């Protein structure tokens, strides 16, 4: 089952930060990675991803550098900034809380 | 036959028409679509199918524009600031401006300390000649689009070929030389009218000065901005012995000139304005460097050399303004060469150190690399001929004066 549009938008920021925490990456590679990680259930579009990347860059959570790829194509690589690492930790905590609350509401363990 | 490039251009045109999307962002989206299309073709799709799938997954252009509206606001000012910030890396622009500001301030300080004044280096005719000739020659070799893209990319930190800046820098130098020669032609034509010689000489010197300034900023400065740390410089690499022999010869000539004028001692080699002028050239160029590395040293050396030439021209202009004071003229002419001497010393040192350290870093024996020496020896020979001419001229003036 694929995610709703609202949930895709809500998860975009923590997912981008989380992938960039492992290594720097660029737009197309991020879309492919999310597709692979979700087993094909989350399909991002450029129209959704680039505004998120540019907002995170503007807010100083990630940094961008233009580089030339192996095939000679110019690519903008994004990397996680120190500020972004703290933001990711906050977001993961929020998602853990939301997830635990949801489980508890269905009779699972309490928060 | 399906033309992917044309289809992509149409798709991106639809976005750029919305004005809110900067070229930087469009370049990023274009790279993305090309990566996706290449992958699809590699997996067996035809170019037409690949383009259709890629543009489908891209979504509607208006959706992307809508997202940017949400992100950056709808006001014209916020749109402009967004587009501007994507065209230029603000830190790089500020750094380059600081370098240019400091460099200009030091260069002017050197001029003032030598006794010159600002009005002596402002010449609208020479400016128009150099600016017009540089623009004209550049547009013969390059399109507006190429020029604007190259400068915008350099300011935005994108990898860019330095060829555009090299060409424009050379054009600026050529324009300066064209102006200088046209001034010399005027002098030769008006040898019988001494009052015509001054303005013609001023035009020649000012054209040369503006040519070097334009080269320093629009050529060398931007070349420095796109230097990558692992780039190996293929230009002149001075071999210690030969480089220092040339320098020693220039210093000996200068010393003999001052000796002929009655000065002795090391103090005759010390000149604060000349040193300041050479440092200004290093600052001019250094401000453009993004992350400083060994690969930048040859560019700083060229900056010092250009500033040295500018310093010599400053001094010669200053001397020309005081032709009615012979005592000033021969001292002035001898001091005029000092920025060139300092610049050569700084450039040779920076290049030697840079070359050796870079060879060490990449594990190559620096003695096995063949230096490209010819143009620099030609320039050094030219400088020596000029120095000798000035020595003879100054000595003859000195003799006339004492007689």
Mutate to test the interface with B, among A29, A54, A63, A81 (most CBs of B within 10 A): A54
The pLDDT tens digits of the residues spanning B204-229 come to 888 988 999 999 889 988 888 888 76
The dihedral region occupied by B73, where left means phi > 0, alpha psi between -120 and 50, and beta the remainder, is: left
List the single residue in B34, B59, B68 with the smallest CB-CB distance to A46.
B59
Residue B25: its chain A contacts at CB < 8 A?
50, 54
Mutate to test the interface with B, among A66, A77, A81 (most CBs of B within 10 A): A66
Q: What's the confidence (pLDDT) of residue A110?
A: 52
Nearest residue to B32 via CA among A29, A85, A20: A29
Q: Which long-range contacts (CB under 8 A, 24 or more apart) does B247-250 make?
A: B247/B341, B247/B344, B247/B345, B247/B348, B249/B384, B250/B337, B250/B340, B250/B341, B250/B344, B250/B380, B250/B383, B250/B384, B250/B387
Note whether B2 and B40 are within 8 A (CB). no
To the nearest whole Å, the CA of B84 is away from the closest chain A CA by 13
Residue B159 to residue A67, Cβ atoms within 8 A: yes
pLDDT in tens, A34-79: 999 988 888 888 888 888 898 898 888 999 888 887 777 888 999 9
Residue B231, pLDDT above cutoff 70: no
Q: CB A48 to CB B67 under 8 A?
A: yes
Taking CB atoms and an 8 Å cutoff, what residues of chain A touch B157? 65-66
SS3 of residue A25 by DSSP? strand
Of the candidates B28, B38, B63, the beta carbon closest to that of A47 is on B63
Helix-, strand-, coil-residue percentages of chain B, each rounded to 5:
80, 0, 20
Question: What does the mean pLDDT of chain B come to?
Answer: 75
| Most trustworthy range by pLDDT among B299-303, B354-358, B367-371 | B299-303
Contact list, B32 vs chain A (CB under 8 Å):
26-28, 46
What is residue B325's predicted lDDT score, i.e. its pLDDT? 72
Count of other CB atoms within 10 angstroms of residue B181: 13
Residues 6+ apart with CB under 8 A from A86: none
Q: Are B150 and B156 in contact (CB under 8 A)?
A: no
pLDDT at A32 over 50: yes
- Cα B358 from Cα B39, distance rounded (Å): 38
**DSSP character at residue B296:** G
Contact B47, B5 (CB under 8 A): no
pLDDT of residue A33: 92
**CB of B308 closer than 8 Å to CB of B215:** no
Contact status of A5 with chain B (Cβ, < 8 Å): no
pLDDT over 70 (residue A8) = yes
Alpha-carbon dihedral sign for residues A38, A41, A46, A48:
negative
Residue B389: band (very low, low, confident or very high) from pLDDT cuts 50, 70, 90:
low
Least CB–CB distance from A51: residue in B36, B68, B157: B68
- Taking the CA of residue B264 and the nearest CA in chain A, the distance in Å comes to 56
DSSP code, position A24 = -
Q: What predicted TM-score, i.e. pTM, was given to this entire model?
A: 0.65
What pLDDT, on a 0 to 100 scale, did the predictor assign at position A86? 92
- Which stretch, A17-26, B15-24, B50-59, has highest mean pLDDT? A17-26
Return all residues near A36 (Cβ < 8 A) that are at least 6 apart: none
Q: Of A52-56, B232-236, B324-328, B362-366, where does the model show the most confidence? A: A52-56
Nearest Cα to Cα of residue A78 among A38, A41, A31: A31
pLDDT average, residue stretch B15-33? 74
Averaged pLDDT for residues B349-362: 74
Q: In this predicted model, what pLDDT tens digit does every residue of B234-287 receive, in sequence order?
A: 554 555 556 666 666 666 666 666 666 565 556 666 778 888 888 898 888 888
pLDDT at residue B295 above 90? Answer: no
Please report, rounded to a whole number, the percentage of residues in chain A having pLDDT higher than 90.
Answer: 44
Burial class (CB in 10 A: 0-12, 13-18, 19+), B120: middle
Going by DSSP bridges, is the β-strand pair A62-68/A74-80 parallel, antiparallel, or unpaired? antiparallel
Residues in CB range of B223: below 8 A, 6 or more apart: B162, B165, B166, B169, B299
* pLDDT given for residue B131 in this prediction: 92
- Collapsing DSSP to helix, strand or coil, B290 comes out as coil
Please give, rounded to a whole number of angstroms, the shortest distance from the CA of B154 to a CA of chain A: 11
Q: Which helix (H) or strand (E) holds A66?
A: strand A62-68
Q: What is the mean pLDDT of residues B12-35?
A: 76
pLDDT confidence band for B391 (50 / 70 / 90): low
Q: Which is higher by pLDDT, B267 or B55?
A: B55
The answer to whether A75 contacts B64, with C-beta atoms less than 8 Å apart, is: no
């Amino acid at each position: 089952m694929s995610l709703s549009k609202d949930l895709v938008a809500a998860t975009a920021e923590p997912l981008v930060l989380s992938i960039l925490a492992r290594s720097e990456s660029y737009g197309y590679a991020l879309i492919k990675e999310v597709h692979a990680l979700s087993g094909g259930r989350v399909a991002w579009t450029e129209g959704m991803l680039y505004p998120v990347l540019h907002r995170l860059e503007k807010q100083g959570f990630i940094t961008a550098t233009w580089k030339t790829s192996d095939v000679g194509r110019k690519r903008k690589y994004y990397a996680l900034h120190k500020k972004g690492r703290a933001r990711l930790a906050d977001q993961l905590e929020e998602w853990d809380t939301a997830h635990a609350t949801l489980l508890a509401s269905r009779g699972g363990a309490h928060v | 036959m399906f033309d992917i490039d044309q289809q992509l251009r149409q798709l991106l045109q639809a976005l750029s028409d919305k004005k809110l999307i900067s070229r930087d962002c469009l370049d990023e989206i274009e790279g993305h679509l090309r990566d996706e299309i290449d992958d699809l073709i590699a997996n067996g799709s035809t170019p037409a199918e690949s383009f259709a799938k890629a543009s489908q997954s891209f979504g509607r252009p208006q959706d992307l524009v809508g997202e940017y509206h949400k992100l950056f606001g709808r006001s014209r000012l916020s749109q402009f600031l967004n587009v501007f910030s994507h065209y230029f890396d603000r830190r790089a622009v500020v750094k380059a401006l600081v370098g240019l500001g400091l460099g200009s301030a030091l260069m002017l300080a050197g001029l003032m300390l030598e006794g010159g004044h600002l009005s002596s280096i402002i010449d609208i005719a020479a400016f128009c000649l150099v600016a017009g000739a540089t623009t004209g020659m550049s547009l013969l070799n390059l399109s507006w689009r190429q020029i604007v893209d190259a400068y915008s990319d350099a300011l935005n930190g994108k990898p860019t070929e330095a060829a555009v800046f090299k060409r424009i820098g050379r054009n600026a130098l050529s324009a300066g030389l064209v102006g200088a020669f046209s001034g010399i032609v005027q002098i030769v034509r008006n040898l019988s009218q001494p009052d015509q010689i001054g303005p013609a000489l001023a035009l020649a010197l000012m054209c040369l000065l503006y040519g070097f300034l334009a080269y320093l900023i629009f050529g060398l400065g931007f070349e420095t901005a796109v230097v990558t740390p692992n780039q190996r410089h293929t230009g002149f690499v001075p071999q210690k012995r030969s480089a220092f022999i040339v320098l020693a010869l220039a210093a000996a000539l200068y010393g003999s000139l001052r000796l002929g004028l009655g000065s002795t001692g090391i103090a005759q080699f010390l000149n604060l304005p000349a040193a300041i002028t050479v440092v200004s050239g290093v600052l001019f160029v250094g401000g453009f460097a993004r992350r400083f590395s060994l690969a930048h040293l040859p560019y700083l050396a060229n900056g010092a050399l250009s500033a040295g030439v500018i310093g010599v021209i400053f001094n010669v202009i200053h001397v020309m303004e005081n032709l009615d004071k012979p005592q000033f003229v021969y001292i002035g002419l001898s001091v005029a060469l000092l920025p060139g001497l300092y610049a050569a010393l700084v450039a040779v040192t920076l290049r030697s150190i840079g070359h050796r350290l870079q060879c060490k870093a990449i594990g190559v024996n620096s003695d096995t690399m063949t230096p490209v020496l010819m143009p620099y020896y030609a320039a050094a020979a030219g400088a020596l001929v000029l120095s000798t001419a000035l020595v003879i001229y100054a000595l003859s003036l000195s003799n006339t004066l004492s007689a």
